[in-house]
Amino acid sequence: MRAMICSNVMLRVAQKNSCRWLSSSSAAAIEDLPLQFLRASDPANFDKDTFQRKDVVFDKSSGKPLITSTLKTPFMREYSLHGESYKVVWDDGVVSEYQRSWVKKQLDLWGKSDIQRVMWNDLTEDRVRTSKDLSMGFEEVLTSNGQAKALKALYQYGILLVTNTPIDDRCSGSVATVASALGGGAKKDDTSVLNNYLKGQNYDRLEGVVDGPLRTLYGTVWSTSTSDQSAGASTADSAYGNESLPLHTDMTYIRDPPGLQIFTMVRPATTGGESLFGDGFAAAEKLRSVDPTSFRVLSELPRRYRCVDRVSGWHLEASGPVIALNYGRVVGIRHNDLDRLPDLPPEGVEDVDEFYKTVNRAHQAWDKILASDDIRLILRLQAGETAIVANQRCFHGRLGFSLDGYSSRVIKGCYVSQDEFESRLRWEGYHV
């Protein structure tokens, strides 16, 4: 007996040498998933506690993988939708159940998400400050609903302005708390910086926490004032000067750059020092449109980046393309010309001169886009305002500023790892 789904009409459709029963209702989306993937994803194939696979075939004594025969394409005999779950009957008699929400998530992974990333340019300070999506208060970020709202903004736009951040003696704690709110586990308990901050505890004295700032060569919570930087932390970076900084992403010299960067303005410069931001995904798509050849070069050529601090003893190097792709979709930006080493031709390149001409042409096309005013968002952050950027997507930089006394512009900030950021996005239902 065939399943009845939203209609009494069932359509038998042939696809890639196999047959399956489909509903005439467009709402039944399970048929859009590959049958091989669907059968392998049967919940019965996964441990309910660890979520690890149970269908991996290996020798129980030696651990060696066992070679199995070539698998045939599964055949779906019928399926039915009951409330919020699908019931699938396979040709070998196995019955599988899949939650409707799970099916939707898998389809979203193919780029069919209801919530799309928003590529932006011509974004102004006034629009950011008045936007219900791009601006929110510090206290709101600490709530469950506020965290969800902030994560949505960072998923869609890659940037968020947070106002009224405390910058008193607990400033390091408030910076770390924002990191905790947007990273780590979604369940906040006594092992969370956020939970302890809400209890009035100082970040510097917390022990046993499992989330919060990513520890780097600059420490956890860092300051652009060298007198306020943690002992032993590096200050070998142009951020500790007062010159302008071109648009860039941070820590290109580590294998997996941070996912979020948090900037809290403690003391703005008297003159100058405005913060710059830009959407790297939008820049990449513009390059793909106007110069496909240069886009291909910058998405295929690994470029090398370096950070050396002789005082603290750090020597970091990493490489990767400026534009990271996943099946043609832009998923990451790695760009900082100040830390970039000169390009070496890949092994086997015969025409070295042509290699450098091609790379230089691609770099100039990229620079032309980054120099255009429409991609640059200028924000003059006031004391207590925090800018958060998705570091593997959005650029940041600053305009030069005049020195006033020892230091006229002080920012405290920190990073959140890409893994922690993506974990929170998945928990909120976004697909990365």
| CA separation for the pair 187, 184 (Å, rounded) | 9
In the chain, the percentage of residues whose pLDDT exceeds 90 is: 63
In a domain, 117, yes or no: no
Residues in the chain: 432
Type of residue at 337 = D
Concatenating the DSSP letter of every residue in 392-413 gives TTEEEEE--B---SS-S-EEEE
**Which are the contacts of 209, defined by CB distance < 8 A and separation ≥ 6?**
180, 191, 192, 193, 196
- At 48 the pLDDT is 86
Considering the domain boundaries, does residue 375 fall inside one?
yes
Query: Count of CB atoms within 10 A of residue 178's CB?
Result: 30
The mean pLDDT value for 94-118 works out to 80
Q: What is the pLDDT of residue 177?
A: 95
280 and 344 inside one domain: yes
Question: For 293-302, what is the mean pLDDT?
Answer: 98
Average pLDDT value for residue range 295-299: 98
The last residue of one of the domains, among 112, 140, 159, is: 112
In the prediction, which pLDDT does 18 show?
35
pLDDT given for residue 175 in this prediction: 96
- Among 87, 112, 137, the domain-final residue is 112
- The pLDDT of residue 26: 36
Total H helices, total E strands in the chain: 11, 19
Question: What is the spatial distance between Cα 204 and Cα 25, in angstroms, rounded to a whole number?
Answer: 57
Residue 170 predicted with pLDDT over 80:
no
Asked whether 343 and 239 are in contact (CB, 8 A), the reply is no
Looking at the fold, whether 102 and 241 belong to one and the same domain comes out as: no
Say whether both 34 and 172 belong to one domain. Answer: no
Which pLDDT band, with edges at 50, 70 and 90, does 171 fall under?
confident
Residue 171 class from Cβ within 10 Å (0-12 exposed, 13-18 middle, 19+ buried)? buried
- In tens, the pLDDT along 362-384 reads 999 999 999 999 999 999 999 99
Which residues constitute the domain of residue 48?
Answer: 10-112
For range 11-15, the mean pLDDT: 31
Q: According to the model, what pLDDT value does residue 205 have?
A: 66
Residues 370 and 325 in one domain: yes
Share of the chain above pLDDT 70, in %: 90
Residue that is last in its domain, among 85, 112, 139: 112
Does pLDDT of 8 surpass 80? no
Confidence label for 110 from pLDDT (cuts 50, 70 and 90): low
Q: Judge whether residue 163 has pLDDT over 50.
A: yes
Give the model's pLDDT for residue 3: 36
Q: Is 118 domain-assigned?
A: no
Q: Are 97 and 213 part of one and the same domain?
A: no
- Mean of the per-residue pLDDT values of the chain: 87
The CATH number of residue 132's host domain is 3.60.130.10
The pTM assigned to this predicted structure is 0.81
Among the residue ranges 169-178, 202-211, 345-354, 382-391, the one predicted with the least confidence is 202-211
Amino acid letter, 280:
G
H or E element, residue 415? strand 410-416
The domain total for the chain is 2
Confidence of residue 351 (pLDDT cuts 50, 70, 90): very high
**pLDDT 10s digits, 172-205:** 999 999 999 999 999 998 899 999 999 888 777 6
1 falls within a domain = no
